[in-house]
């Protein structure tokens, strides 16, 4: 079992009893110092044919790119109810600092990082090599993709922007390098490979981040927001989360990076300020597979609609949710609702497909949703509905099924 743990201060606090947890790779208060770093010294040739001949040694990548990796410190005030107020209403405040990493993307003082690195921060500072530290302003954020853009004054600074690569070209087995500040150990280099593609992780606001890169390069709390680099030293991902084993908070060789192409698609919008909100359909669904065979559905794959939120694009399009509860291998589910089998003519095989297809769109765009709908006579009819997508809310409504 895995879960995402959103931790504003101490990233290594994990719930007891979990075999594996997902934790944001973000450092905070009371972190125990760990100094083990895996570094390979030999040059590695990428498996991607388009990148062959461009491989650099880890040392060469480090010398060139480490100056472009920032140390991000967030001052956070956490409010809680005072245990000493017998009549309620009393609040206490705890202030602390949490640390992460950032990527310099231009010479004008623009820095890319994870949203969770600066979430709820009342002050953000950025430091570079040789102890240069400046205050940063959070100018744009996208909680749904765990991205944020910072801006600093460049007076007296010589910035070293990193080259943004193409995450779509990554292949399993390609060598990668991570540079960041794990456990406050500034500008640490670790190496590994792309160990899987097309992963999904949960964003801080509960939505799903798609097309995530998985790597075995050791990343730990404090690496969040730092670059995952290809063999040519180009940024292909933003290190965001790690899987942890048992009750420990350190890397077990499974890390996740938000693909740089996701960030590139919205950097210009983030630089203009405000919050970027992705497209939103407004329904939850359940993947149809063998576990639902007892329901005798007309298809072996697709997305069975569970709920539809009032006033959303899904509701306005006329998509129907399930109305009858049934107990299956997957637990209690709602049956009788529409089955989504295609979006814009592209086959939908699971609820994850719905989330992926919707996240690729922008608010205001209209999509065609093909559904199978019970006709009340023991059969199903095929319908194509039009939905004009809205904007995502601040967080996913409470549900155990994927949100579209």
Beta-sheet pairing, 274-275 with 133-142: parallel
- The answer to whether residues 16 and 244 touch, using CB atoms and an 8 Å cutoff, is no
- The answer to whether residues 4 and 205 touch, using CB atoms and an 8 Å cutoff, is no
Residues in CB range of 189: below 8 A, 6 or more apart: 37, 39, 58, 61, 62, 66, 177, 178, 179
Query: Across-strand partners of 259?
Result: 237
The angle subtended at Cα 278 by Cα 273 and Cα 281, nearest 5°, is 150
Cα 144 vs. chain centroid, distance in angstroms?
7
Strands (E), 246-302: 255-259, 274-275, 279-280, 283-287
Alpha carbon of 204 to those of 118, 193, 240, 241, 272: distances in Å?
A: 11, 26, 11, 11, 22
The angle subtended at Cα 173 by Cα 172 and Cα 178, nearest 5°, is 100
Radius of gyration of the chain (CA): 23
Task: Count other C-beta atoms under 10 Å from residue 162's C-beta.
Answer: 23
Of the chain, the end-to-end C-alpha distance in Å amounts to: 23
Residues tagged active-site: 116, 146, 224
Instruction: Give the residue among 146, 88, 159, 80 at the shortest CA–CA distance from 119.
Output: 146
DSSP H stretches of helix in 128-174: none
d(CA 275, CA 141): 5
Instruction: Give the residue among 210, 263, 226, 5 at the shortest CA–CA distance from 100.
Output: 226
- The answer to whether residues 404 and 351 touch, using CB atoms and an 8 Å cutoff, is yes
């Amino acid at each position: 079992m895995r879960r995402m743990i959103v931790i504003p201060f101490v990233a290594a606090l994990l719930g007891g009893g979990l075999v594996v947890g997902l934790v944001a790779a973000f450092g905070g208060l009371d972190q125990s110092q760990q100094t083990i770093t895996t570094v390979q010294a030999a040059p590695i040739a990428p498996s991607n044919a388009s990148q062959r001949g461009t491989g650099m040694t880890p040392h060469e990548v480090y010398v060139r790119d480490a100056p472009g990796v920032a140390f991000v410190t967030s001052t956070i005030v956490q409010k809680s109810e005072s245990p000493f107020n017998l009549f309620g209403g009393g609040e206490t405040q705890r202030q602390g600092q949490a640390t992460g990493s950032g990527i310099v993307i231009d010479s004008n003082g623009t820095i890319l990082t994870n949203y969770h690195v600066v979430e709820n921060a009342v002050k953000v500072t950025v430091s570079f090599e040789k102890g240069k530290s400046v205050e940063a302003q959070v100018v744009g954020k996208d909680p749904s993709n765990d991205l944020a853009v910072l801006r600093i004054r460049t007076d007296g600074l010589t910035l070293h922007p990193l080259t943004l690569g193409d995450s779509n070209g990554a292949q399993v087995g390609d060598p990668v390098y991570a540079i960041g500040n794990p456990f406050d150990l500034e500008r640490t280099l670790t190496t590994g490979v792309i160990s899987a593609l097309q992963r999904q992780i949960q964003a801080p606001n509960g939505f799903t981040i798609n097309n995530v890169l998985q790597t075995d390069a050791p990343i730990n709390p404090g690496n969040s927001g730092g670059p995952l680099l290809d063999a040519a030293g180009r940024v292909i991902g933003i290190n965001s989360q790690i899987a942890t084993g048992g009750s420990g908070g350190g890397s077990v060789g499974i890390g996740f990076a938000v693909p740089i192409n996701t960030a590139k698609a919205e950097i210009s919008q983030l630089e203009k300020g405000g919050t970027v909100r992705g497209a939103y359909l407004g329904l939850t669904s359940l993947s149809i597979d063998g576990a639902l065979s007892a329901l005798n559905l007309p298809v072996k794959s697709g997305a069975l609609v569970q709920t539809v939120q009032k006033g959303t694009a899904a509701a306005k399009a006329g998509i129907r949710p399930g109305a009858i509860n049934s107990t299956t291998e997957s637990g209690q589910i709602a049956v009788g609702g529409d089955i989504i089998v295609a979006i814009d003519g592209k086959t939908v095989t699971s609820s994850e497909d719905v989330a992926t297809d919707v996240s690729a769109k922008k608010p205001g765009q209209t999509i065609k949703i093909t559904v199978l709908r019970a006709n009340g006579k023991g059969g199903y009819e095929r319908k194509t509905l039009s939905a004009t997508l809205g904007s995502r809310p601040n967080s996913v409504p409470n549900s155990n099924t994927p949100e579209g």
